[in-house]
Amino acid sequence: MFRAFPNNYVWNLSANIALNTGGLIDEVVRICDSLVDASELGDDDGTEQFFRAWCDMADKLRARAERADSAGHPLSASDFYLRSWVYYQTAERMQSRSYAPRWEAYKLGLDSMHRAIDVGDVNAELVEVPYEGVTLPAYLVKARGVDKAPVMVFYNGLDSTKEMVIGGGIGDQFARRGISVLVVDHPGSGEALRLRGLTGYHDSERWSAPVIDYLETRSDVDADRIGVVAWSLGGYYAPRAAAFEKRFKLCVAWGANYNWGELQKRRLAKEGDRPVPHYWDHVQWVFGKESLEEFMEFAPLMTLEGVVEKIDVPFLITHGDLDTQIPREYAYAQYEAAVNSPVRQLKFFTAEEGGAMHASADNLPVAASFISDWVSDHL
C-alpha cells in the first residue's frame, strides 16, 4: 500500500483509490506532500485542507482539458478530464455531508467524467435504469467484438461511485474478455444518493430486479447470462442480490462482508479501521437515518447469515490478506455458508502479489484481472 501519510490510514486509503482509478503518481505525490502536516491532525480535523489540495489539482487539469478541447485535441482533453474527475471525487468523498463545498466539487467531477466520455474514446454509455418511478444513473461498458454479450452488473460499496469503475479501467477488463458491464449508482451511493436523494436499504434484490428488467430490454445483452459483482460493502449487496434475484447466474463478492451489522458494534468499540472520516454521520446519510441510535437499530438487518445458503450459482469471494476494515473471518464464514453454490471459491490476495488491502484498493488491476478471468470461465 502506498503510504504518503505515516499515521493516517483513511487518507492513505483515499490516495490509493485515486491512484487505482486513474490518478497519476506525480500528481498524487505532489498533492500528498502538501498535506503531510495536516494529516497529523487526524482524518476528521484535516479534511478541509485535504479538500482544497485535491480540488486545486482538479481545477488545473480541468482548465487544461478545456484548452486542449478548444485547440482541437479531444483525446488529450479526455485524459485531462478523467484525471480532474479523480481528484474532485477524492476531495469530495472525504467530506461531511454538511460541508457545502463538497456538492460543487461532486458536480464538477461528474461533469468532467461526462465530458471525458463525450470527447474521448472512453468505453462507457450513460444510461438511466427505470426504478420505482424514477431512474438510477449507470454506465454500460460494452463487450468487445460481441453483438449479444453476457453482462456483469456492478454495484458500489459504502462510499464508492460508478465512476471509479470507469476511471480505473475495470469495466474494460471485462469488455476485453467479451463481457459487458453495467455499473450502477444504486440507492445509497454515488449520484443516486448525492443528487437524487435515494438512500440505501438492506434488501439489494429490490433494486436488482429493475436493473435486470432494463437489461432484458436491450438487444445487445444475453439476458440468460447476467451476473453480479460488487466491492467493499458490495460484498454484502451482491450475495444478497444473488440469493433472492434468481435471474443472476453468477456472483462475485469483491471483499467479503458477511455481517456488516455486527461490524458496526465493533466500530463503536473502536475496533478496526474506517473507510471515510465523519464515519457515523456518513452511514446515517447513506441509509437515511436521523440518529446514531436509529442507524444502530437498522444495522443488524445487514447480515448474510441465513442468506448465503440460498445462492445456487457460481460464487467467488475475494479478500485482501491485510484488510484492516473487514475481518478475514467474514470471508471464511461467507464461503462456508455457500453450501448450495455449484462452484465456490475463496481467494485471498497477498502482499506479495498485490491487492492485499481492503477490497484490493492498493492494487485494483490485480483483483480485476483475476475476477474477470474467473467470470469469463464461469458465466
Name the segment(s) of the chain with CATH classification 1.20.1440.110.
Answer: 9-119
Burial class (CB in 10 A: 0-12, 13-18, 19+), 45: exposed
Q: Where are the beta strands (DSSP E) in the chain?
A: 125-131, 134-141, 149-155, 180-184, 221-231, 251-254, 315-320, 344-349
Q: Say what the pLDDT of residue 46 is.
A: 85
The DSSP output letter for 358 is G
pTM flag (> 0.85): yes
Q: What's the first-to-final CA gap in the chain, in angstroms? A: 32
State how far the Cα of 82 lies from the Cα of 22, in Å rounded to an integer. 7
> Are β-strands 251-254 and 134-141 bridged in parallel, bridged antiparallel, or unpaired?
unpaired
195-238, pLDDT tens digit by residue? 999 999 999 999 999 999 999 999 999 999 999 999 999 999 99
Q: Say what the pLDDT of residue 270 is.
A: 78
State how far the Cα of 195 lies from the Cα of 373, in Å rounded to an integer. 35
Q: Say what the pLDDT of residue 274 is.
A: 64
- How many residues are given for the chain? 379
34-45, pLDDT tens digit by residue? 999 988 987 667
| Torsion (CA) 145, 121, 190, 254 in degrees, nearest 10 | 40
What does the DSSP assignment read for 282-338?
HHHHHTT-SSHHHHHHHGGG-B-TTTGGG--S-EEEEEETT-SSS-HHHHHHHHHH-
Residues of the chain with pLDDT under 70: 43-44, 271-275
Q: Say what the pLDDT of residue 67 is.
A: 99
125-377, what's its fold? Rossmann fold (3.40.50)
Q: Say what the pLDDT of residue 163 is.
A: 98
Q: Say what the pLDDT of residue 41 is.
A: 84
Contact 254, 372 (CB under 8 A): no
State how far the Cα of 250 lies from the Cα of 317, in Å rounded to an integer. 11
Name the segment(s) of the chain with CATH classification 3.40.50.1820.
Answer: 125-377
Architecture (CATH level 2) of domain 9-119: Up-down Bundle (1.20)
